[in-house]
Amino acid sequence: MTAGPIDLRAVTASEDQRSPLAEVLGSLLRTVSFRAEVFFRGQMCDEWSLDTSGSGLATFHAIGDGPCWLHLRDLPRPRHLVRGDVVLLPHDAQHAVTSSESSVPLYGGKRYSKVLALDAPPAGTELLCGYLHIPRTVQELLLSAVPDFLVIGRHAPQGDQIGRLVDAMFAEGRNSSPAATAVVERLADALLVKTFEIGIANLPEPAGFYAGLAHPRIGRAIAAAWEAPDKRWTVASLAEVAAMSRSAFAEQFQELVGKSPMDLITSWRMQVAWQTLERDRGTVADVATKAGYETEAAFRKAFKRHFGVGPGEVRRP
């Protein structure tokens, strides 16, 4: 289902990794309306173990001061977490964050004896934990080849931005004003977009969709289609952009990405169409043209097949 786990607190990306991958990822993230829901902000004291899986949603932990370790069943040993680290579990993997390396993780549950507010005198480990709501329309594109967990810290590429956002979240989390939770969650929105950007762009062994983007030729073709979803792309025209023969392009694309070129382009076109219908309230005919369909009827059929609902239902107030 996913690639292996990765710790990106000290990864350095090459220029090649940042070309089509960064360009397409930026376009994809701009279409996604992340919504973070923070359900815990406080200090875990003494001996504790916390597993927030089971919701079916992506989950995250932002780490403040105090000892903290991440346990997963497939990890050969726990990972030490420090202030400014963000743990993102895109597939709701069972896990445990604990008070020490030697703690016995309580998978599927919680074990703690004392919890303090963030604004109390330091006595434990500062945590901000929550869920990340990702629109189902983009989950396949964004999450299909993402590892079970990402750990991003201050020392990752652009990690200073992660650190500043984590610091701002904890500073606001100590605030007792009525708006504090809303502010923390909006900061978490930005933090998690940045976590995805850094984490995916620096995968040492990209898989699926991201493997295609990391390929110097196939990535160029995907980026071209992403920039112009309204163009009437064919496998032959994509292969021409990639400077490959049609057969070699189609075969290598399927091997890397796990789907055909046109299936991937259709997924992107449908995402663009959904967002245009939902945000811009464009007519179905206009959206069909922007999504590269010659007729409104063909677009309606493809949209219904992809999402299970018609485009008119998305436009309804």
Span 166-197, pLDDT tens digits: 999 999 999 888 889 999 999 999 999 999 88
Is residue 29 over pLDDT 50? Answer: yes
For residue 317, what pLDDT band results from cuts at 50, 70 and 90?
A: low
Give percent of the chain with pLDDT exceeding 90.
63
Q: Domain 215-315 belongs to what architecture?
A: Orthogonal Bundle (1.10)
Helix H, strand E, coil C: the string for the chain is CCCCCEECCCCCCCCHHHCHHHHHHHHHHHHCCCEEEEEEEEEEECCCEECCCCCCCEEEEEECCCCEEEECCCCCCCEEECCCCEEEECCCCCCEEECCCCCCCCCCCEECCEEECCCCCCCCEEEEEEEEECCHHHHHHHHCCCCCCEEECCCCCCHHHHHHHHHHHHHHHCCCCCCHHHHHHHHHHHHHHHHHHHHHHCCCCCCHHHHHHHCCCHHHHHHHHHHCCCCCCCHHHHHHHHCCCHHHHHHHHHHHHCCCHHHHHHHHHHHHHHHHHHHHCCCHHHHHHHCCCCCHHHHHHHHHHHHCCCHHHHHCC
Mean pLDDT on 57-73 = 96
Query: Each residue of 128-153: pLDDT tens digit?
Result: 999 999 888 788 888 888 899 999 98
Mean pLDDT on 285-314 = 91
pLDDT of residue 159: 82
What's the whole-model pTM score?
0.83
Tell me where in the chain the CATH 2.60.120 domain(s) lie: 6-201
Give percent of the chain with pLDDT exceeding 70.
93
Q: Domain 6-201 belongs to what architecture?
A: Sandwich (2.60)
Tell me where in the chain the CATH 1.10.10.60 domain(s) lie: 215-315
Average pLDDT score over the chain: 88
Is residue 38 over pLDDT 50? Answer: yes
Is residue 316 over pLDDT 90? Answer: no
